Every structure is written in structure tokens, then in C-alpha cells.
Amino acid sequence: MRLVFLILFSATPAYAGGLNVPTNIKLDQIECGVAGKNNAYAYFSWDSAQGATSYRFYSKIADGTDKYRAYDEVTAPNYELSFNPQFDFYVAVSSVNTFTGNPPSAAESNKSADFYLSAKKLLTLCYGGQNKLTQSVPNTPWATVSAQQSKDLEQAQTKIAQLEKKLANVESNLKETQQKQSALEKIVNNLLNFLGRLFKFQL
């Protein structure tokens, strides 16, 4: 099953290095499923400065580890996913190409990204909110979001942005009105003071 989203993630390097790290990752496709008895996978792609790149992440559920393998469906270098206690994970280039068994080429390494994604969101989307991929996952379709639901979510986000803009305009207008009211009150007070002095002078 395939989930369609428009979600932006800030990407942070897992370590200082020569990898080309995208500053924003646009998560636009997720597909969760079971690949064999003891393997589950989450497929997604993102747009970076190097163009659209698709990765398929495999996790061995039955082996009790927190490490996962992934490969680029185009160039097929091997990657390793590691969890930290905050349920973020990063992808680092491995020294072995998944399909050839050879080290990835310099081009493969240079186009690869070292980045963080929100694992909590990915787990919620693909694994029903389970806190670790190593927990037992039933060999059944996981929770999915329909294209219509995704479209509704996008429209709701657009409407929220429009309302926030209107609210900002209202606040700006209110501030301007308050400033005008303050200036008008000052003029009225000055006029009343002048009339008061004039009345006393006439007496």
C-alpha cells in the first residue's frame, strides 16, 4: 500500500563529513509492507538538490537488533540505519554495495545524504505508532492514509496558513487602530485642557 504525503523535514548531518546534505527533505511517498516472513520495509523518496531520489529501507524484525539496511533503487549503494534514544535515525553510507558486494563508487558516496528524519512520524505512519521497528509486526497491511485524506490534509494546511495570514493582518490593523485611538485621545485631552483654561480665564 502506498501513502502519499507532503511533509517537510529539516535534515541535520549525523556527523561532519564530505557528504552532500540536503537542507530540506520533502517526504512525498511512503509505502509500507512485508517483504518475506521476517522482513518489513518502508519505502519513501525525497527531493534534494541532486534531484528526486528513492530509497527502500529494509528492517529485519525477528533478529532483535536496531540496525537496518537500505539501498538506493537507482545506484544501489548499501546504507545502515541506526536508532538513537530519541527515536531519530540517520542513514550513513556503508562500505559495501548491496548488489555487487563492492565498495560504493565515489559518485555514489558523494550523492548520498547523511540526515535525520522523524522516526516517530514514520513509525506512526507505517507501524501504527510502535516505538521500535524491532517489535513484532503482524504480517498484515498497516494503517494507510488514502489519497483523499492526504488531499484533505493538504487543503487543511493551506487553509490554516491563510487563516494565520488573516490573523496577522487583523493584529496589524488592531495595533494601528490602537495607535490612532491613543493619538485621538491625546488630542481630545489637549482640547479639554485648553477649554478648561479658557473657561477659567473668562471667569
Query: Which among 143, 167, 190 is the end of a domain?
Result: 143
CA angle 18, 120, 116 (to 5 degrees): 5
State whether 122 and 165 are in the same domain: no
| pTM listed for this prediction | 0.27
Please check the confidence at residue 81 and state whether its pLDDT lies above 60: no
Query: Which among 143, 166, 195 is the end of a domain?
Result: 143
Residue 201 lies in domain: 146-203
Cα dist. 190→4, 194, 199, 203 in Å? 64, 6, 14, 20
Query: What's the sign of the alpha-carbon dihedral 105, 110, 114, 117?
Result: negative
Three-class secondary structure of residue 70 per DSSP: strand
- What is the average per-residue pLDDT within 114-135? 36
Q: Domain total for the chain? A: 2
Question: Would you call 32 exposed, middle or buried from its count of C-beta atoms within 10 A (0-12, 13-18, 19+)?
Answer: buried
Three-class secondary structure of residue 86 per DSSP: coil
* Mean of pLDDT over the chain: 49
- pLDDT tens column, 12-71: 333 223 223 333 333 333 334 433 333 334 443 333 333 434 333 333 333 333 333 333
Q: Is 49 left (phi over 0), alpha (psi -120 to 50) or beta?
A: alpha
Q: What is the pLDDT of residue 79?
A: 36
DSSP per-residue codes, 31-69: EEEE-SSSEEEEEEEEEETTEEEEEEEEEESTT--SEEE
Q: What is the pLDDT of residue 11?
A: 32
Which has more confidence, 82 or 149? 149
